Amino acid sequence: MFENCSIVYGSANPKLARKIAKYLNTSSCKASGRFSDGEVRIKLTESVRRKTVYVIQPTNPSGDNILELCFMIDAARRGSASEITAVVPYFGYARQDRTARPGEPISAAMAAGMIQYAGADRIVTIDLHSEQLTGAVTIPLDNLYASRVLIPKLKSYLKRNVVVVSPDRGGFKRANAYAKRLNASGMALIFKNRDLNVNDQTESQDIIGKVKGCDALIVDDIWSSGSTIKSAVDILLEKGANKIVVAVTHGLFAGKSLDIIKNPAIKKIFVTDTISHASKIAHNRKIEVVSIAELLAEAIGRIQSGKPLREIFDVEQN
Ligand code: R5P
C-alpha cells in the first residue's frame, strides 16, 4: 500500500512522525536542518517524483516550525510529488481567528494560506481550535478528534461518575460530547473572561451546573499559559468539587504553566502527543501522554487507499 508514498517530517515532533510510520510499517525521513546562520534548511533525501507525500509537522512552537512545514511542502511540490498532505497535528495560530481588537491580523487565516500557497493538496489536523478556520481553507481539511484516543483512557481511569466541565463557552460542545460518551453524572459550564490587554490572563467568573461533592473532569483543547485551567480549578474548588482530572488535546505547557498541577486537588492530566513534550512532562507522574500516532496512521492509510475518513471521526462532536 505504501510503495508509492513518502513520509517526511521536520524538527517539531520527530518521535510522533516515526511512530506513525511504524504503525504504517513504512519508512520516514527527517528533512529539516539549519544553515550556519540559523535559517531553515530543507532537503528531501529521496526522490518524491510521482509519489504521494505526507509531511508531518505540528506548528508549535511557532516561527520556524511553520516555515519548515511550508518549505518541506514546497520541496515536495518542486520534486514533482503527485499529491501532498500536510499532517499538522497541532495547528498553530488557530486561536487568532478574528481581529479581536483593531490593528490585529487574522493570523489563523495567514497560517492556513501559507500552507496552501506552499502547495499542500490536503490538510489533516487534530482538534482544530476554531472551526471558523475551515472557511479560510480551500483544499480538503480533515479535522480529527482526539476524543477517539482520550475517551478510552478516561473510561478506564475514572472509577466513579464525574461532572464534565467546560472551562469556557467555546469548549461546551466538546465537553458535552465527552460527557455523553463517559455517561457523566452531569455537566458544568464556566464563564471565563480573558483580558485582551494582558496576555494570557483569564478569570473564571461564574459556573452553571452542580459540582459540590463531585469529582470533575475538565476538558479543553489547549493548555498554554495554564491560566484557563487554573481559574477553572479555583472556581471548582470554591464551589465544593472534590478531585479534579484534566483532559487536554494540545499540551503547549508554556513557561511555568505546569506549576498549578502541584495543587493536590488535581489528580491527573491526560494530554496527547500532538506536540513534542520535554521529558520532565512525559515523566511527570500526574501526567499521562496518550499517543495520537495510531489515529493519524489510520487517517493516512485511508487517504492513501481512498477509503473514507468518516468512520474515524467522532461524529457526536459535530
Ligand atoms: C481557548 O479558547 C482555548 O480553548 C483554551 O482554553 C486556551 O487557549 C487555553 O489557554 P491558556 O492555557 O493560556 O489559558
- What predicted TM-score, i.e. pTM, was given to this entire model? 0.94
Confidence of residue 292 (pLDDT cuts 50, 70, 90): very high
Which phi and psi angles does 265 have, rounded to 5°?
Answer: -70, -25
**Ligand 1: residue whose CA is nearest its atom 10:** 224
Q: Which residues line ligand 1 (CB under 6 A)?
A: 95, 167-168, 170-171, 200, 202, 220-228
Q: What is the mean pLDDT of residues 78-90?
A: 98
Q: What amino acid is encoded at 113 in this protein?
A: G
Angstrom distance (rounded) from CA 308 to CA 302: 6
Confidence grade of residue 205 (pLDDT, cut at 50, 70, 90)? confident
Q: Is 173 strand, coil or helix?
A: helix
Q: How far is the CA of 170 from the centre of ligand 1 (A)?
A: 10
Smallest Cα–Cα separation from 185: which of 152, 209, 153? 209
pLDDT above 90 covers a percentage of the chain that reads 84
264 cis-preceded (ω within 30 degrees of 0): no
Q: Which of 19, 51, 192, 268 is catalytic?
A: 192
pLDDT of residue 61: 78
Q: What is the per-residue pLDDT across 166-195, written as a single tens digit (0 to 9) for each? A: 999 999 999 999 999 999 999 999 998 876
Average pLDDT of the residues in 281-303: 96
Is 239 an annotated catalytic residue?
A: no
Q: Choose among 63, 56, 95, 58: nearest CA to 224.
A: 95
Residues 131, 67: Cα–Cα separation, whole Å: 23
From CA 89, how far away is CA 103, in angstroms rounded?
A: 29
Q: Which residue has the cell 505526507?
A: 54
Rounded Cα–Cα distance for residues 256 and 236 (Å): 22
Q: Are 229 and 254 in contact (CB under 8 A)?
A: no
- Ligand 1 centroid to 111 CA: how many Å? 19
Among 222, 250, 256, the mutation site with the greatest number of ligand 1 atoms within 8 A of its Cβ is 222
Q: How far is the CA of 6 from the centre of ligand 1 (A)?
A: 34
How many whole angstroms separate alpha carbon 231 and alpha carbon 313?
31
| Other C-beta atoms lying within 10 Å of the C-beta of residue 242 | 16
pLDDT in tens, 114-162: 999 999 999 999 999 988 888 889 999 999 999 999 999 999 999 888 9
d(CA 13, CA 60): 9
Mean pLDDT (the chain, rounded)? 93
Q: In angstroms, rounded to a whole number, what is the distance separating the alpha carbons of residues 145 and 7?
A: 22
